[in-house]
Amino acid sequence: MIDLRALRDDPTYREGAVAKGATADTLDRLLADDAERRQLLAEVERLRADANAASKDIGRADPHERDAKIAAAGELKARVGDREAVLEAVSTRVDEAALAIPNPAHPSVPTGTEEAFEVIDVVGGQPSPPPLDHADYGDRMGWTDAERGAAVSGSRFAYLRAEAVLLELALVQWTMQKLVGRGFTPIVPPVLVREDMMVDAGFFPTDRNQVYELEKDELFLVGTAEVPLAGIHRGERLDATTLPLRYVGFSSCFRREAGTYGKDTRGIFRVHQFDKVEMFIWADPEQSWAEHELLLEIEREILDQLGLPYRVINVASGDLGAAAAKKYDCEVWLPSEGQYREITSCSNYTDFSARRLGTRVKGDRGSEFAHTLNGTACAVGRMLVFLMEHAQQDDGSFVVPEVLRPYCGLDLIVPPAAE
RNA sequence: GGAGAGGUGGCCGAGCCAGGUUGAAGGCGCUUCCCUGCUAAGGAAGUAACUGUCGUAAGGCGGUUCGUGGGUUCAAAUCCCACCCUCUCCGCCA
């Protein structure tokens, strides 16, 4: 949720909201309603003060004065109720409008639609495709079985098999170790959460149709560990001296992928279930931009050490999503498609999410909302897709990235004999 | 799944069954000061959060909050309803 006071007082904040698609008209109407709300609030509070005083007086009054005083207090109460109804109507209007306003973009975010992104850096080349694309190679190596996956669970489900499983676990363990070494606390979170957690994490109502629901138990399967990680300090007051609090979660992720029919149908690039190592940071407002750069640095280090060619983009305002004030995407070159595809992304939500989560920081500057950030460390399945193309040799063998070898006990994997 | 107990301020813990100077006793912790020749003991004062408004500020005056949301009442931590959570015993279980 946005900061109405900042919207009122801070021109930069307001410009950021406009960059994200909020019209000046909408903002002005919201601020006018909010002004009315605050005025009504003052009035209602005055009336309530009178009514409270009258009630307190009854407790102290002589018994024979009570009836008269009770009657008078009753009248006061009725007047309060009338004005409260008006206030509530205005407040509801303000809240609804405020919830619809996205988190303003940071001034460093390029303004425009999806294509307006800014390329920050390009690492490595754009190699030509290997003999087999990731989908065919996964089948050839006996690493993926989408056919049986579909028979068991439907399309976009696959079995992961053989060395691919060892590689997956190696990726998880390697990234986990790296992050623990950087002071992150490792977490295996619940993957089923309540509706209010989905709302507070900012995924409902907007992304509700992307989420699997267990109706009988009123629980929802998370699409990312970000959701339960955001819940860790919900409703808490954090001591500024303990920040930043850095967490790294490992979980399976579940996505309905509604509206992607016919898109990325080959292999395991886009599936309903995958595993992911996700970073999440609770930061002091003064630290959050430095923490955002840290997340990017870690993401880049992971790609560098795996030897993947990639570029980093500063996502344009129109493509940020409601919660992010700024977002970097790392996109790895996918040779078979001849284009860069997203592998990781990291966002600074500033105080947008914490306001809804009710997480505050208490420090020298008093009490303010925390800043939250999140970033992908390793989307495991998709990482395997990229590795299957970049580590694949002309003879069909697979060269395991050096850094993963200690974690899976493999260095060169040769394809099984053809049937 | 069955039976019971309980959720109060940074923490512990009274208050609830008789609704009214209780935003909440007491203790711990913390802050400041006094005493003390010294990391002890003692004494005094202060110490919830959020929010509106006025003020340059210190602060003043209000509102809301005793798990959450409703209800009854002039008045609710206290009464009623629903939900959430925690604990104990039994059952089940990787």
The predicted-structure confidence for A382-419, as pLDDT tens digits, reads as follows 999 999 999 999 999 999 999 999 999 999 999 998 76
Residue A349: predicted pLDDT: 95
pLDDT band for position A93 (cuts 50, 70, 90): confident
Distance A292 CA to B50 C1' (A): 29
Distance A62 CA to B21 C1' (A): 14
Q: Are A275 and A252 in contact (CB under 8 A)?
A: yes
Say whether pLDDT at A307 is over 90. Answer: yes
Question: What's the rounded mean pLDDT across residues A150-172?
Answer: 94
Beta bridge partners of A280: A247, A374
What is the spatial distance between Cα A180 and Cα A174, in angstroms, rounded to a whole number?
Answer: 10
CA separation (Å) from A356 to A229, A231, A289, A349? 14, 11, 20, 12
Torsion of CA A300, A302, A304, A307, to 10 degrees: -140
Tell which wins on pLDDT, A374 or A9: A374
Sign of the torsion formed by the C-alpha atoms of A16, A18, A21 and A27: positive
When pLDDT is cut at 50, 70 and 90, the band that residue A294 belongs to is very high
Which of A56-70, A187-201, A347-361, A382-396 is most confident? A382-396
Q: Which nucleotide is nearest to A61 (CA to C1')?
A: B20
Of A254, A320, A295, whose CA–CA distance to A106 is shortest? A320
Read out DSSP for A193-208?
Answer: E-HHHHHHTT-TTTTG
3-state secondary structure of A192: strand
The answer to whether A207 touches A223, Cβ cutoff 8 Å, is yes
Predicted pLDDT of residue A419: 61
Higher pLDDT, A300 or A217: A300
Distance, CA of A360 to C1' of B12, in Å: 25
Per-residue CA distances from A193 to A190, A203, A214, A406 (Å)? 7, 12, 10, 35
Tell me the pTM. 0.92
Q: Which nucleotide is nearest to A38 (CA to C1')?
A: B52
Q: Say if CB A197 and CB A321 are below 8 A apart.
A: no
- The rounded distance, in Å, linking the Cα atoms of A183 and A294 is 12
Q: A199 CA, B71 C1': separation in Å?
A: 27
Based on the number of CB atoms within 10 Å of its own CB, is A284 exposed (0-12), middle (13-18) or buried (19 or more)? buried
| Shortest-distance nucleotide from A45 CA to C1' | B63
SS3 at position A142:
coil
Q: Is A132 a residue whose pLDDT tops 70? A: yes
Please name the residue ranges forming H helices in A61-206. Answer: 63-99, 134-140, 146-153, 162-181, 195-200
Query: Within 7 A of a protein CB, which nucleotides of strand B?
Result: 20-21, 49-53, 62-64, 74-75
Is the Cα torsion angle A118, A122, A127, A133 positive or negative in sign?
negative
Side chain identity at A54, as an amino acid letter?
Answer: A
For residues A107-129, average pLDDT: 94
Q: Give me the sign of the Cα torsion angle A304, A308, A310, A312.
A: negative
What is the phi/psi pair of residue A412, to 5°?
A: -125, 125
The answer to whether A191 and A251 have CB atoms below 8 angstroms apart is yes
Look at residue A402 in the predicted model and tell me its pLDDT: 97
Mean pLDDT of chain A: 91
Share of chain A above pLDDT 90, in %: 62
Tens digit of each residue's pLDDT (9 = 90 or more) over A177-198? 999 999 999 999 999 998 888 8
Least confident segment among A63-77, A154-168, A277-291: A63-77
pLDDT band at A120 (very low <50, low <70, confident <90, very high): very high
List the structure tokens of A32. 């006018």
Please count the residues of chain A: 419
Q: Which of A223, A296, A303, A291 is nearest to A257 (CA)?
A: A223
DSSP string, A244-256: PEEEEEEEEEE--
Beta bridge partners of A254: A273
Active site residues of A: 255, 270, 342, 345, 382
SS3 call for A164: helix
Q: Model ipTM?
A: 0.81
